[in-house]
A and B are shown apart, each in its own frame.
Chain A
Amino acid sequence: MEKHEKLRPIIAQVIENIEKVIIGKRDIATLSVVALLAEGHVLLEDVPGVGKTMLVRALARSVSANFKRIQFTPDLLPSDVTGVSIYNPKNMQFEYKPGPIMGNIILADEINRTSPKTQSALLEAMEEGNITIDGTTRPLPRPFFVMATQNPIEYEGTYPLPEAQLDRFLLKMRMGYPAILEEIEILSRAKKIPPIQELQPVITVEELNVLQQKVKDVYVDDTIKRYIVEIVQRSRTFSSVYLGVSPRGSIALMKAAQAYAFVHDRDFVIPDDVQFLAPYVLSHRIILKSEAKFDGVTAEDVVAGILERTSVPIQR
């Protein structure tokens, strides 16, 4: 617990670091850290140029971790991601050349620009925690954190991720455009050296591993579990929903809530954690009915509707 206490302020520093680079996006910074602590992965969905890459880089830099970036293109092959075994004529053997996935923090840029085959290579690695090349299973380094970005699917020349694969991501979030004052601030910072260069690592990989273990100790009361389940169950019966949230979604919500409570220096989860995280954890796990889509209903609206209908537990 002592170590734990010492490590806690580091989280605040990580968030602070990100905020130095990404102006006015504290929620996004916090959510990124939450995902990192909960050993989940993040899907960042937004138009180009709002700082998606910058966010991941800031996070990677704060953790003195092995940062890898994969720029997905239509012609990228799975082996370009996972690595490949190459015949070494010297010792007459195939040798494994690690791909960019062998890192701690991976930025999978524009994941929807590549072929589904390549996408699934990445997603499988995210789910399994290891990769299999030529019959050999190789563990991925720990921590292993993927932050994938994608342009909104209505843009041309993209391969939208299948819904089933989307729920490999713990969170899906949008950066959104900065506010006026924030954008002005961005402009003034752009003159100097990019702030990303000045960021100092504040946490080691080992410490991060410890924190990830600690997050699992965050207490989740039965009342909270019930609350989570109620929310998830409601998503399955919601009128405009074609397919609701799977139990994997419930687990994700609980894990994220634990991490979120941890970030807020609490060793137990409260309904507010769940409420805050539900849109990020659940929206990409819901498939809407087509008529609802035509009506302009979004998954976020549905999650908000569910939360508004679910009573918060206020007693044992």
Chain B
Amino acid sequence: MNGTQRTIKVFFLNLLAFWLLWEWLVPLKTVSDTGNIYVFTVFVAGCLGLSFLGVRFWLGALIKSIYIFYMLNMLFFQKPFFSLNWVVDLTNTVVHNFYFLMNLQFAEMMDSFRSLLFFLLLWVSVYLLRYWLFVEKRLFLFYAMTVGYVAVLDTFTAYQGKGAIMRLVVGGFLLLSWLHYERLVEKEKLLSANRTWWKPFIFFASVSLLIGYTAPKLQPQWPDPVPFIKSYTGGGEEEEEGKEPVVKKIGYGTNDSRLGGPFVADDTVVFYAEAKKRHYWRVETKDIYTGKGWEASESVEIRTFERENDVLKWFEESVDNETLTAKVIFKRPYSHLVYPIGLTALIAFGGVVFRLHAANEKIYATDRESHVVRLGEYEMTYEYPSFSVEKLRQVPVVQDSELLQRYTQLPSDLPERVKELAQQITKGKGNQYDKVKAIEQYFSFNGYFYETKEVAVPSEQEDYVDQFLFETKKGYCDNFSTSMTVLLRSVGIPARWVKGYTSGQLVNSEENGMNVYEITNNNAHSWVEVYFQGIGWVPFEPTKGFTNPYRFTEQSLQAAPTPMPQNVQPEQQRKLFNEEKKRVSTPSTGLLQSIKTFFASLSLKNMVLFLGSLAASVYVLYKARRKWWPFLTILSFKIFRSEQTFIKAYLSLLKHLDDYGLKRRKAQSLRDYAAYVDEWFASDEMSRLTLLYEKAIYRKTPIEKEWDKVKELWENLIKKTVS
């Protein structure tokens, strides 16, 4: 390699080093309050440039120091650089901050000092990076750290690391393979090495990039880690209403604007409820369906009450009610309250004011100065309704045009087939109640099933409800309840989406007839409320495997009201349940389904890209089978200790050696061949292995005792042919 070439090579390596450090600097702007990133970027570039130009160490250090001090002055002291007044300031700062540093009071340190430290850190990093690049010629650790850094920032912060990751895949692997090549040349003292290493590199980098780009990506498997870790370690709940977490990830959170994706079971207890009856606990309702999820209408109207709920009207007089009381004890208080429908009064200690957000019917407790109070426990009275099916059937069409408009809202781009389906389901049903029941029960019979793991997220062009109704047909409460709401709205029935908790698990029955229920995060649920003129908002339960906790009574049975909800007959329910179980226990259905879904979610272009890269990968795997197949065999060899494995392994070794170029004539005895192989490798391993093999096949002696020896010999031989 001549001088020019070497210079170009070193230049490019320096460039790559700069780029790697730059990847560390870029996210700082987003994830911290660091400003003026360019100052540091220029510094890094300068450091690399100075060493590239071969500037003497003392001169380089001088230039760098001047740059650091000049920049510190410019950023923090703004005094004439040559007046040297700032030197005094800087010295003071350093002395002060050094004191903080020694006392571990990091938060007290001033920005100027932090910047100084950061400069020094970068200086050291550049030095280290150069050492790794040009002396060690190894960079894997640093590279892995960079990838980890970007991945963590992408996952947990607002930083979008997609581009960075793609750059890292290409650039990082380029660097790694280049360095590997350099190392080989150096180690083997090759004068004219094969310089075509970049050909396979380009192939593999582009294929992996392509696959990575087109392949569907899993949603984050971890929810937002901060609350997760806090709830895990038992730390205080820091969620504050109105202040969205800095980090937002699709598919998770208090935000329902994008639904879909799997969720993870979490049995952290949220609260205990002491109540006479089982019923759902509401938190809020949402009214605007966006095609991807739910949002509450933008109303800032807040109504307050101190004890008696005179702001939220529930049912008309025509509904039979039973007045009940209940008590809620939060394990870890939220700012919002949970309450059953029919709430008439809330009782809490210490003059709190209850505030109801009109838009979503969320209730908060505040003190007189409107500061949110987290109530650990409170009591309530409520009207537990019992709906007469007869009356529900007789209600007139909803007249209230304002209400009708608000609760039959649908996105303009809702696919036509959703509306058509709603029409089809409700066809021939004379009244609103029957229509609602028809839609509610539609999910029970048409191949929908409950699933929390493999739940799709609609892509940009897809509608959440449409996807569930026609494509995936599996999901959890959000899928069912949202779909029911949207179907109802499609046929003009006002409906809204309700979030809260189910009744939980009975943990204790007290003597006074009260039951204690434990409600965990797993009980979080969503369901549907439908407005009936002259009655009010009536809850319905479309989700498979769940039953409506409220009573619906038929006129004829009123004398002896059945406690059992009538919408699903027990027998039928059991049948359904079995059916569901059966479905769940057939993994092939699920797999097939998910493959189908996957392909359905690909556009034609992506499909071609995907299949193309798949074919290319398969071809490459086939071509390179000699490289990876042995390791698979070694693995199986390690796991299955049997005579048969040995024979298989030996035969595959023969085949492998044959592929390697050591041909065995079919009339050549193994021993003879082994000697030939051993001569080639200048060892005796093949002969030793063959002796054992002869015993195994010509003597049929178990080689159990020699197993480890066999394994080792075999592995060594395979490795010889691979290397």
Residues of chain A contacted by B667 (CB below 8 angstroms): 307-312
The residue in chain B whose Cβ has the minimal distance to the Cβ of A224 is B698
- Complex contacts, A223 vs chain B, CB 8 Å: 697-698
Most buried by B among A268, A269, A308: A268
Q: Is the CB of A315 within 8 A of B700?
A: no
User: How many angstroms between the C-alpha atoms of A219 and B651 in the bound complex?
Assistant: 23
Chain B residue at smallest Cβ distance from A312: B669
A224, A267, A311, A314 — which one has the most chain B CB atoms within 10 A of its CB? A314
Bound: A271/B698 CA distance, A: 9
Interface size class of B (residues with CB under 8 A): 10 to 19
CB-CB < 8 A to B669: which residues of A? 270-272, 275, 312
Contact A268 B654 (CB under 8 A): no
Judge whether B602 is part of the interface by a CB distance below 8 angstroms: no
B605 contacts A by Cβ under 8 Å: no
Contacts of A309 in B (CB 8 A): 667
Cα of A313 to Cα of B693 in the assembled complex, Å: 12
Residue A221 at the chain B interface, CB threshold 8 Å: yes
Cβ contact within 8 Å between A314 and B699: no
Tell which of B651, B654, B694, B700 touches A270, judged by Cβ atoms closer than 8 Å: B694
* Complex contacts, A307 vs chain B, CB 8 Å: 667
B693 to chain A, nearest CB (A): 9
A269→B698 CA distance, assembly (Å):
7
B695 close to chain A: CB less than 8 A: yes
Residues 637-667 of chain B, each 1 if its beta carbon lies under 8 Å from chain A, else 0: 0000000000100010010000000000111
Contacting residue for A272 out of B651, B672, B699, CB 8 A: B672
A219 touches B666 (CB 8 A): no
Is B670 touching A316 in the complex (CB atoms < 8 A)? no
Q: Flag if B695 contacts A268 (CB, 8 Å).
A: yes
- Known contacts A314-B651, A315-B647, A315-B651; decide if A271 and B695 are in contact (CB<8 Å): no
The number of chain A residues touching the other chain, given as a range, is 20 to 34
Q: Contact flags (1/0) for A209-231 with B, using CB distance below 8 Å?
A: 00000000001010110000000
CB pair A268 B698 closer than 8 Å: yes
A224 to B700, CA, bound (A): 12
Q: Contact check: which of A268, A271, A308, A313 meets B699 at CB < 8 Å?
A: A268
What 0/1 readout, one digit per residue, does chain A (101-136) give for beta carbons within 8 Å of chain B? 000000000000000000000000000000000000
Q: Is the beta-carbon distance between B670 and A312 smaller than 8 angstroms?
A: yes
Q: Kindly report which residue of chain A lies nearest to residue B699, judged by CB atoms.
A: A268
Tell me if A221 and B668 are in contact (CB < 8 A).
Answer: no
A219→B670 contact, CB < 8 A: no
Residues of the A chain whose Cβ atoms lie less than 8 Å from the Cβ of B668 = 312
Knowing A312-B668, A312-B670, the reply to whether A221 touches B647 (Cβ < 8 A) is no
* B699 in contact with A316 (CB, 8 Å): no
A186 CB, nearest partner CB in chain B, Å: 31
Task: Please pick, from A268, A271, A310, the residue contacting B670 in the complex, using a CB distance under 8 A.
Answer: A271
Query: Which of B654, B667, B669 neighbours the largest number of chain A CB atoms within 10 Å of its CB?
Result: B669
- How many angstroms from the CA of A307 to the CA of B672 in the assembled complex? 14
C-alpha spacing A221/B698, complex, angstroms = 5
- Using known A-B contacts A308-B667, A312-B666, A312-B669, determine if residue A270 contacts B698 with beta carbons closer than 8 Å: yes
Q: Is B276 an interface residue (CB 8 A)?
A: no
Tell me if B671 and A272 are in contact (CB < 8 A).
yes
A270-B672 Cα distance, complex, nearest whole Å? 11
Q: Is the CB of B672 within 8 A of A316?
A: no
Q: How far is the CB of A275 from chain B (nearest CB, A)?
A: 6
A310–B669 CA distance with the chains assembled, in angstroms: 11
Q: For the complex, what is the distance from the CA of A308 to the CA of B697, rounded to whole Å? A: 22
Q: What's the minimum C-beta distance from A301 to chain B, rounded to whole angstroms?
A: 15
For the complex formed, measure the closest distance between the CB of B650 and the CB atoms of chain A, giving whole angstroms.
8
Measured CB to CB, the closest approach of chain B to A31, in angstroms, equals 18
Cα–Cα, bound, A272→B654 (Å): 18
| Smallest CB gap from A219: residue in B | B699
CA of A307 to CA of B667 in the docked complex: distance in angstroms? Answer: 7
Find the A residue at minimum CB distance from B694: A270
A260-302 toward B: CB 8 Å interface, digit per residue (1/0)? 0000000111111001000000000000000000000000000
- Give the Cβ gap from B145 to chain A, nearest Cβ, in Å: 50
Judge whether B647 and A316 touch: CB under 8 Å: yes
Give the docked Cα–Cα distance between A312 and B667 (Å). Answer: 5
Interface residues of B in 654-713 (CB under 8 A from A): 654, 665-672, 694-695, 697-700
When chains A and B are docked, how far (Å) is the Cα of A313 from the Cα of B654? Answer: 13
Least distance between B546 CB and chain A CB atoms (Å): 60
Q: Which of A224, A270, A311 contacts B671 (CB 8 A)?
A: A270
Residues of chain B within 8 A of A271, CB atoms compared = 669-670, 698
Instruction: Report how far A312 CA is from B694 CA in the complex, Å.
Output: 12
Complex: A219 Cα to B701 Cα, angstroms: 11
**1/0 contact trace for A57-101 toward B, CB 8 Å?**
000000000000000000000000000000000000000000000
Residues of B contacting A267 in the complex (Cβ-Cβ under 8 angstroms): 699
A residues 181-215 in Cβ contact with B at 8 Å? none
Residues of B within 8 A of A268 (CB): 694-695, 698-699
Distance, CA A224 to CA B670, complexed state (A): 13
Q: Which residues of chain A come closer than 8 Å to B665, judged between CB atoms? A: 308
**By the criterion CB–CB under 8 Å, are A316 and B697 in contact?**
yes
**In the assembled complex, how far is the CB of residue A1 from the closest CB belonging to chain B, in whole angstroms?**
15
- Give the docked Cα–Cα distance between A315 and B694 (Å): 9
CA distance A272 to B693 in the complex (A): 14
When distances are taken between beta carbons in the complex, the residues of chain B under 8 Å from A313 are 697
Q: In angstroms, how far is the closest chain A Cβ from the Cβ of B658? A: 12
CB of B664, distance to nearest CB on chain A (Å) = 9
Task: Give Cα A224–Cα B698 distance, bound, in whole angstroms.
Answer: 7
Nearest opposing residue in chain A for B667, CB measure: A308
A271 to B672 CA separation, bound complex (whole angstroms): 10
Contacts of A270 in B (CB 8 A): 669-671, 694, 698
Closest to A316 in B: B697
What's the Cα separation between A311 and B669 when bound, in Å?
9
Min C-beta distance of B334 to chain A, whole Å: 70
- Cα of A223 to Cα of B700 in the assembled complex, Å: 11
Tell me, rounded to whole Å, the shortest Cβ–Cβ distance linking A267 to chain B: 7
B residues less than 8 Å from A224 (CB atoms): 698
Tell me whether A314 and B670 are in contact (CB under 8 A).
Answer: yes
Query: A134 vs B671: C-alpha distance in the bound complex, in angstroms?
Result: 54
Task: Give the distance to chain A from B695, nearest Cβ to Cβ, in Å.
Answer: 7
- Measured CB to CB, the nearest residue on chain B to A221 is B698
Distance in angstroms between the alpha carbons of A275 and B669 in the assembled complex: 8
Does A221 contact B671, Cβ atoms closer than 8 Å?
Answer: no
Give me 11 other A-B pairs in contact (C-beta within 8 A), A268-B698, A312-B667 excluded: A219-B698, A223-B697, A270-B669, A271-B698, A272-B669, A272-B672, A311-B667, A315-B647, A315-B697, A316-B647, A316-B697
Chain A residues within CB distance 8 Å of chain B: 219, 221, 223-224, 267-272, 275, 307-316
Name the 9 nearest CB pairs between A and B, nearest first. A268-B699, A311-B666, A271-B669, A272-B669, A221-B698, A272-B671, A312-B669, A308-B667, A270-B698
List 26 A-B residue pairs with CB atoms under 8 Å apart, sorted by A's residue number: A219-B699, A221-B699, A267-B699, A268-B694, A268-B695, A270-B670, A270-B698, A271-B670, A271-B698, A272-B671, A307-B667, A309-B667, A310-B667, A311-B667, A312-B667, A312-B668, A312-B670, A314-B651, A314-B654, A314-B670, A314-B697, A315-B647, A315-B651, A316-B647, A316-B697, A316-B700
